[in-house]
Chain A
Amino acid sequence: MKLVIVGCGRVGAALAEAFDNGGHEVVILDTSTRAFDKLSEEFKGQAVRGDGTDEDVLRKAGVEGADVLLALTEGDNRNVMAAQVAMEKLAVGKTIAKINDPVRAAAYAELGIATVCRTTMLTDAVLAYLDLGKTGMPSIIAPVPHVHEAGQGPVASPVAAGTTPVQAQRS
């Protein structure tokens, strides 16, 4: 599989290494080259400095036609835009955007982007540890296909522990 990661933070770097170790083709982008220090020396993927919301930058990095793009920068909106550029302009098969605002996370699942929300994930983890119930929100919300044609609302699909984060499954 060819996977593209926008944002080389802790999560981005860790996933890049995991995919690389799994024998996948990996491209990781960040606006700062220093961010790539988080990658180990053994990392065999491609690290590209540039703005992952810029179509030209993504195209030059060879993102067109990739199987998956993960948008994991610190900015919710940057992630949304990177995912939408990848889907609409660069024919990327599947996109996941980190969106920490739960309202936006749910809204964008309706627009075809799988979203992962740290706010609900951490809240749920804490609540579960303290045995205080849960938010009821899934940690990854899978996109609803053709929502306008089908006229249906968002479908929440929790990811079971142990499944790979790339393959959110319908419950």
Chain B
Amino acid sequence: MFVLVVGGGKVGYYLTKELIESGHEVVLMEKDRARAAQIVDELGSIVVPHDGCEGKYLGEAGSNRADIVAAVTGDDEDNLVICQMAKHHFDVPRTIARVNNPKNEDLFRHLGVDEIISPTRMALGSIEQDIPVHELLHLAALDNELEIIEAQLQADSPAVGRTPADLVIPEACSLFAIVRNGVATPLRSDTVLQEGDKVIAIGRADCERMLHEQLIGTEDEVTAG
């Protein structure tokens, strides 16, 4: 496969290196001459020391016979234009863009970029996975100070493995449904609660502390509400 990589920063450099090692034909475009020369020293003469955004050089680098163009510079607008030029002007079958601002992902897909790599989104994803949701979620406020509240059960929740009948639920409050694997069902008194369940409750705001204790645990202070 012939892959044209645009942008000789860290991502472009290691991408090129890996691709060469797995036997692909690779050309790397890097506009900074000093950086380009440095990569030539390390990886051989596979570098075009020109701006990959410039139509002329994109053509000279062989984009019209490339199977894949990967635009991995640090600037979203450059990556977008490189992919669009490759796709629409040089008929490259597959384009890949690095996207730094997660908000641009939709736009890029909409504008015809085939594949999006979003380092920001990936980091965000792993951070969010690492931080368990330890709070009650307010879904809606009703009349008479009533609220609909959701609690997602973590592994350390005291409610896991128990049924609603085993829990101490405040009088002015009722647990009425659970969402398990995306399916909502009414909560029966003999339903055994599992990790990952979302328990939906309705109750007065002053029941929250008790609900928190029963469904989330007591290590954290109640901050909701």
Q: What band does the interface of chain B fall in when counting residues whose beta carbon is under 8 Å from A?
A: 20 to 34
Q: Does B78 contact A (CB under 8 A)?
A: yes
- Tell me which residues across on chain B come within 8 A of A76, comparing CB atoms: 53, 81
Check A77–B75 contact: CB distance below 8 A: yes
Check A77–B56 contact: CB distance below 8 A: no
Answer whether A107 and B55 are a contact pair too, CB < 8 Å, given A53-B77, A76-B81, A78-B77: yes
- Tell me which residues across on chain B come within 8 A of A165, comparing CB atoms: none
Q: Does A139 contact B (CB under 8 A)?
A: no
- Tell me which residues across on chain A come within 8 A of B85, comparing CB atoms: 103-104, 107
- Residue of B59, B77, B88, B111 touching A110 (CB-CB under 8 A): B88
Q: In the bound complex, how far is the Cα of B51 from the Cα of A76, in angstroms?
A: 12
Q: Does B122 contact A (CB under 8 A)?
A: no
Answer whether A101 and B107 are a contact pair too, CB < 8 Å, given A76-B81, A80-B77, A111-B88: no
- Tell me which residues across on chain A come within 8 A of B68, comparing CB atoms: none
Q: Does B27 contact A (CB under 8 A)?
A: no
Interface residues of A (CB under 8 A from B): 53-56, 75-78, 80-81, 84-85, 88-89, 101-104, 107-108, 110-111
* Ranked 8 nearest A-B pairs via Cβ: A103-B55, A81-B77, A77-B77, A77-B81, A107-B89, A78-B77, A77-B78, A104-B55
Q: Besides A81-B80, A107-B88, 8 other CB < 8 A contacts?
A: A53-B76, A54-B103, A77-B77, A81-B81, A101-B53, A103-B56, A104-B54, A104-B85
